[in-house]
Chains A and B, each alone.
Chain A
Amino acid sequence: MPILWLILIVFAIAAVGFFLGRSRALHSSGGDSRGLHSLPFYYGANVALKTAVPAFGLMIIWLLVQPLYVNSQVSEMIPDSAVKEGSSRSLVMAEVRRTASGLNNAIAQGHLTEDMVNNARADITDMTQRLKDAGQVVTAEITQPVLRAAQSYRTLTSTGYSIMNVGVILVALLGAGAGWLQTSSEYRARNVVEQGVSVLLFGAASIAILTTIGIVLSLVFNTWEFFKLYPATEFFFGTTWAPSFSGRGGSSSLGIIPLLWGTFYISLVALLVAVPIGLFAAIYLSEYASPRVRSFAKPMLEVLAGIPTIVYGLFALLTVGPLLLGVFGDEGLGWMKAGTAVMTAGLVMGIMLIPFVSSLSDDIINAVPQAMRDGSYGLGATQSETIRQVVLPAALPGIVGAILLAASRAIGETMIVVLGAGAAARLSLNPFEAMTTVTAKIVSQLTGDADFASPEALVAFALGMTLFILTLGLNIFALYIVRKYREQYE
Chain B
Amino acid sequence: MNDMSRVERQVDTKEIKLECRDCQVYYGDNHAIKDVNVDIEDKTVTAFIGPSGCGKSTFLRCLNRMNDTIDIARVEGSFKLDGEDIYDKRVDPVQLRAKVGMVFQKPNPFPKSIYDNVAYGPRIHGLAKNKAELDEIVEKSLRRGAIWEEVKDRLHAPGTGLSGGQQQRLCIARAVATEPEVLLMDEPCSALDPIATAQVEELIDDLRSRYSVVIVTHSMQQAARVSQKTAFFHLGNLVEFGETGQIFTNPEDPRTESYITGRIG
Contacts and interface: CB of A to CB of B under 8 A. Distances in A.
Interface of A: 291, 369-382, 385, 389-390, 393-394, 488-490
Given A370-B69, A376-B110, A378-B97, 4 more contacts: A374-B104, A375-B110, A379-B124, A394-B111
Contacts of B66: 374, 377-378
Nearest to B103: A378
A390 B110 contact: yes
B101 A379 contact: yes
A371 B94 contact: no
Nearest to B69: A377
13 contacts: A371-B104, A372-B110, A372-B111, A373-B69, A374-B104, A378-B64, A378-B66, A378-B175, A379-B174, A389-B112, A390-B111, A489-B158, A490-B160
Contacts of B97: 377-380
A393 B112 contact: yes
B102 interface: yes
Interface in B155-189: 158, 160, 171, 174-175, 178
Nearest to B111: A489
B26 interface: no
B104 A378 contact: yes
B251 interface: no
Given A372-B108, A489-B111, A381 B175 contact: no
B31 interface: no
Interface of B: 64, 66, 69, 71, 94-99, 101-102, 104, 106, 108-112, 120-121, 124-125, 158, 160, 171, 174-175, 178
Contacts of A370: 69
A292 to B, nearest CB: 11
B111 A380 contact: no
A45 B102 CA distance: 61
Among A369, A375, A376, A489, the one with the most B-chain Cβ atoms within 10 Å of its Cβ is A375
B124 A381 contact: yes
Contacts of B112: 389-390, 393
Contacts of B125: 380
A399 to B, nearest CB: 13
A375 B103 CA distance: 8
A374 B61 CA distance: 10
Given A375-B104, A393-B112, A380 B69 contact: no
Nearest to B121: A379
B178 A379 contact: yes
Q: What are the nearest 9 A-B pairs in CB distance? A: A380-B98, A378-B102, A489-B111, A371-B108, A380-B97, A375-B108, A379-B121, A394-B111, A382-B94
Among A377, A379, A390, A488, the one with the most B-chain Cβ atoms within 10 Å of its Cβ is A379
B106 A380 contact: no
Contacts of B71: 291
A167 B111 CA distance: 63
A379 B175 contact: yes
A381 B98 CA distance: 8
A297 B95 CA distance: 32
A373 B109 CA distance: 10
Contacts of A489: 111, 158, 160
A489 B37 CA distance: 42
Given A380-B121, A382-B94, A389-B120, A369 B174 contact: no
A488 B160 CA distance: 8
A58 to B, nearest CB: 55
A285 B154 CA distance: 37
Contacts of A375: 104, 108-110, 171, 174
A381 B121 CA distance: 8
Nearest to B113: A488
A483 to B, nearest CB: 15
B101 to A, nearest CB: 7
B94 A488 contact: no
B178 to A, nearest CB: 6
Among B99, B111, B158, B178, the one with the most A-chain Cβ atoms within 10 Å of its Cβ is B111
Contacts of A377: 66, 69, 94, 97
B64 to A, nearest CB: 7
Nearest to B71: A291
B110 A378 contact: no
